[in-house]
């Protein structure tokens, strides 16, 4: 076993391959049960309503959806990380997955300009000119 810091709480723990300490895993299981039970009683609920009524953060609910743990509740969607299309599990929609496997971008994906680092440089240049 390897010692790691829990990505959620930062506590040192002996990793067993689960990625989080036992306390955070129990908290996730409790939160998942709250969400699942609420959705069983209210199948048409959206993520905001589920979060408000259960007290579970939106980010955690989105994580459960991406993991495919809430597939039975097809009214819950998250956005494809490439094109923004609504999906019920995973990180990419079918079109982006096909394009990714083929090594080319999806046909309906809008062009995105690379701005990483440029915003910072533009801001610095503006500061110097003032």
The 10s digit of each residue's pLDDT in 40-85 is 999 888 889 999 999 999 999 999 988 888 887 767 888 888 888 8
Say how far apart CA 57 and CA 64 lie, in whole Å: 11
- The answer to whether the beta carbons of residues 71 and 77 sit under 8 Å apart is no
- Mean pLDDT computed over 80-96: 88
Task: Burial-class residue 53 by CB neighbours within 10 Å (0-12, 13-18, 19+).
Answer: middle
- Mean pLDDT computed over 85-107: 79
Where does the chain show beta strands of DSSP type E?
2-5, 12-15, 78-79, 86-87
Say how far apart CA 130 and CA 128 lie, in whole Å: 6
Q: Would the pLDDT of 4 be above 90?
A: no
Say how far apart CA 47 and CA 114 lie, in whole Å: 31
- The answer to whether the beta carbons of residues 110 and 80 sit under 8 Å apart is no
With both helix axes pointing from N to C terminus, report the angle between 47-54 and 58-66 in degrees, rounded to the nearest 10: 120
CA angle 59, 69, 82 (to 5 degrees): 55
- The answer to whether the beta carbons of residues 113 and 120 sit under 8 Å apart is no
Q: Would the pLDDT of 130 be above 80?
A: no
Sign (positive or negative) of CA dihedral 119, 91, 49, 34: negative
**Percent of the chain at pLDDT exceeding 90:** 25
- Mean pLDDT computed over 85-94: 88
**Percent of the chain at pLDDT exceeding 70:** 78
Residue 3: the pLDDT is 86
Residue 104: the pLDDT is 62
Say how far apart CA 45 and CA 36 lie, in whole Å: 11
């Amino acid at each position: 076993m390897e010692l790691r810091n829990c990505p959620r709480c930062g506590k040192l723990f002996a990793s067993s391959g689960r990625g989080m300490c036992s306390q955070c895993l129990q908290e996730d299981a409790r939160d998942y049960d709250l969400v699942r039970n609420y959705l069983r009683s209210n199948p048409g609920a959206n993520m905001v309503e589920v979060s408000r009524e259960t007290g579970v953060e939106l980010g955690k609910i989105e994580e459960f959806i991406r993991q495919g743990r809430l597939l039975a509740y097809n009214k819950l969607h998250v956005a494809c990380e490439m094109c923004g299309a609504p999906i019920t599990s995973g990180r990419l929609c079918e079109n982006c997955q096909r394009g990714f496997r083929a090594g080319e971008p999806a046909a309906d994906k809008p062009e995105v300009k690379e701005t990483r680092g440029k915003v910072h440089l533009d801001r610095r240049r503006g500061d110097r000119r003032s």
